Amino acid sequence: MVEIVSRREWGAAAPTGALTPLARTRGVKVHYTGGRVSPEIVRDHDVCVQLVRDVQRMHMSGGRETRYVDIGYSVCVCPHQRVFMGRGPGRLPAANGPGLNAGHYAVLALVGNSGFTEPNDGIKHGIRDAIEYLRREGGAGPEIKGHRDGYATSCPGGPLYEWVKAGAPRPKTSSGGGAPAARLPELRPGDTSPHVVTLRRALGAADTTSKKYDPTDPDLAALVEAFKNRHGLKGGLVWTAECWDILNERRSS
């Protein structure tokens, strides 16, 4: 199931003008950032959030020669298999090029031309999740293209474009139903963070929506305690970087 990061969750600015409705498209076009993406993005989801904010700020300030009324992409996808809501389904994107936006929704992968350049399985699963979501919710057709298909650009970069040309196959690794448990920030009782949702999903908690790391929640507390005891970890209910590492290894094995 696609894991959407809402505009409120990533701190999107409000559009400065009306967005044009779009009933259906021939499919989607895949993009990359075209700049350097820090390799830390794979370990730290906060880097993903900041990068999406930066892209919106750049688009709305005229960094693409024209001031967009909003981020130009329909959705953005990060290495943790999360799909950030951009303009969303049913709205005309602005990133495909003049005269090309009505033909395809625009999906930005948070991959660069330096630093983090090779799309990992989380990115690929996330793009597939986004495609299925846009087909279901926005009338996207079967085409999966790269930005360079029809527009003179290097986007979405060599490695990502090779995957797109191959039909954008979903990786054989399990998607895990959500973001993989990368080395995310330490969580302490009382913390409120989107990473708590990742933890809940990974541990199989009954409530997989709450963002509060609540020590009075018997479901989550018992799962954390059992996990740490099983792996000989100390520190009470604090969920450390070491816990993320062990969980990540278990889920990828």
Task: Read off the pLDDT of residues 123-168 as tens digits, 9 standing for 90 and up.
Answer: 999 999 999 999 999 999 999 999 999 899 999 999 999 999 999 9
Encode pLDDT of 81-96 as tens digits: 999 999 999 999 999 9
Total Cβ atoms within 10 A of residue 151: 16
What are the beta bridge partners of residue 109?
Answer: 77
Which DSSP state fits 12? P
Q: How many Å apart are CA 111 and CA 186, to the nearest integer?
A: 25
Q: Residue 29 in 3-state DSSP?
A: strand
Between CA 98 and CA 120 the distance in angstroms is: 30
pLDDT at res. 250: 58
CA torsion sign for 49, 119, 127, 35 is positive
Confidence of residue 240 (pLDDT cuts 50, 70, 90): confident
CB 209 within 8 Å of CB 197: yes
pLDDT at residue 175, rounded to an integer:
60
Between helices 218-230 and 241-252, what is the axis angle to 10°? 80
Is 164:123 a contact under the CB 8 Å cutoff? no
Mean pLDDT, rounded, for 19-47: 94
Domain 4-165 CATH (choose: 3.30.70.250, 3.40.50.740, 3.40.80.10, 3.20.190.10): 3.40.80.10
Task: Give pLDDT, residue 1.
Answer: 67
Residue range(s) of every CATH 3.40.80.10 domain in the chain: 4-165
Q: Where are the beta strands (DSSP E) in 11-164?
A: 25-31, 36-37, 75-77, 83-85, 104-109, 114-115, 140-146
Residues 6+ apart with CB under 8 A from 4: 82, 83, 84, 85, 133
pLDDT at residue 208 above 50?
A: yes
pLDDT of residue 180: 47
